[in-house]
Amino acid sequence: MTVQIAIVGAGPSGCYLAQALGKLRDDIHIDLIDRLPVPYGLVRYGVAPDHQGTKGVVRQFARLFEKQGVGFVGNLRIGDPEHDADLTLAELREFYDVVVLATGLSADRKLGIPGEELDGIFRAGFLTRHWNDHPDEAGRIPGLGRNVVIVGNGNVAIDILRILAKTPHEFEGSDLADTHTQRLSEAGLQTIDIVGRSPADAARFDPVMIRELGKLSATRFVVEDLPPAEDGEDKRLAALRELGEAGASDADKTVTFRFGWVPERATGADGTVSEAHFHKAGGGEELVIACDTLITAIGFDDDRAMDREALLSRAVDAEAGAVEPGLYLAGWFKRGPRGTIPENRADAQELAKRIAADLEAHPPAGDRPGATAIRARFDTVTDYEGWLRIDEAETADVPDGRCRRKLTLVEDMLAAAGAKRETR
């Protein structure tokens, strides 16, 4: 008997869960399913292009497919047919004994303030996916201006700030396409104001992200709203103080950190943003920053392709991710947009134990067809060998100073995945 397990979402949560399950039982077969023809989700499309060290975790995940027999089924959408899904969740559950949803939360959370839909306002998730050449966003060109306000003070906001502030030569070794560096350079960016609602010692960024900013070559930093220095103070405050003393004397960009300001509204002329308005948290003081670009980086939400709220509402153990025996939720899709990529590993290990215990208590018949039924129904899905051919195409002809030239269209990925198969 082989227990068929489908994990929907081939990003880090799904990969860590497959790792953990493989260590607990040897009578299982796992398929990682993704709506795109390629695996690795957030690592490929969410991690900043200049953080190749973080992206290197895919070498660990590759062993799942190459050494541990995990299958990959790409280019298959699971969920609501109204969101162009190929297969409903109910249909997928007919094929597998266990289904785990690890699709993450990809929709940008809205600020909910007047003026939020003005031209010149962008959301951080869109920008990150665009700079990572995600097929959904590759064709949408953000028109960035010279004076940018970023709302938010988490690691995603710092990623956005760093990409904007870097000079072209500082992307050496990244997979950021030349078209992106050219547009960033042509924008002629001069100022970035990064404004957070929380006080500095409650900001959500990692101090190491702040220290990385101090290495930028053409940027000077101003840090406002800091409390008086104290011995043994919070690491975030220490990193910000160090940053305020860093920066090139001949810098052509100025980055200003501000803390404790609540976004109130965006205003503009002719439909384009020109000012961002804030008020002091807990007080009446107002702050108005002139800008031609406003970027929100305040977290992520469900993309509605799967009815997450309904699943959570009927879960027998929502905290553990157990909807019912045979159906589970993992990663951000389970617990919301909290935690870094490594933190998902501990979460996956706990969920794997829960799934193994449920399988022990409710042994399945072991007669589900798994991916065989999917491949019989869809001749458009990709597999891991197809991903290797896409990977080969993306790394065969890279520009100087880059590690990869991503394919930006699903059609091109599918062609690359299938082209060599015909010649072997």
Annotated binding site for FAD: 13, 42, 78, 332, 339-341
Q: Say what angle helices 343-361 and 12-24 make with each other, to 10 degrees.
A: 50
HEC-encoded secondary structure of the chain: CCEEEEEECCCHHHHHHHHHHHHHCCCEEEEEECCCCCCCHHHHHCCCCCCHHHHCCHHHHHHHHHCCCCEEEECCCECCHHHCCCECHHHHHHHCCEEEECCCCCEECCCCCCCCCCECEEEHHHHHHHHCCCCCCCCCCCCCCCEEEEECCCHHHHHHHHHHHCCHHHHCCECCCHHHHHHHHHHCCCEEEEEECCCHHHCCCCHHHHHHHCCCCCEEEEECCCCCCCCCCCHHHHHHHHHHCCECCCCCEEEEEEECEEEEEEEEECCEEEEEEEEECCCCCEEEEECCEEEECCCEECCCCCCHHHHHHCCCECCCCEEECCEEECHHHHHCCCCCCCHHHHHHHHHHHHHHHHHHHCCCCCCCCCHHHHHHHCCCCECHHHHHHHHHHHHHCCCCCECCCCCCCHHHHHHHHHHHHHCC
Point out the annotated binding site for NADP(+). Answer: 153-156, 339
Q: Is the dihedral of CA 48, 51, 57, 62 positive or negative?
A: positive
Binding site residue list: 13, 42, 78, 153-156, 332, 339-341
| Distance from C-alpha of 39 to C-alpha of 62, rounded to nearest angstrom | 9
Beta carbons of 348 and 17 less than 8 angstroms apart: yes
CB 148 within 8 A of CB 164: yes
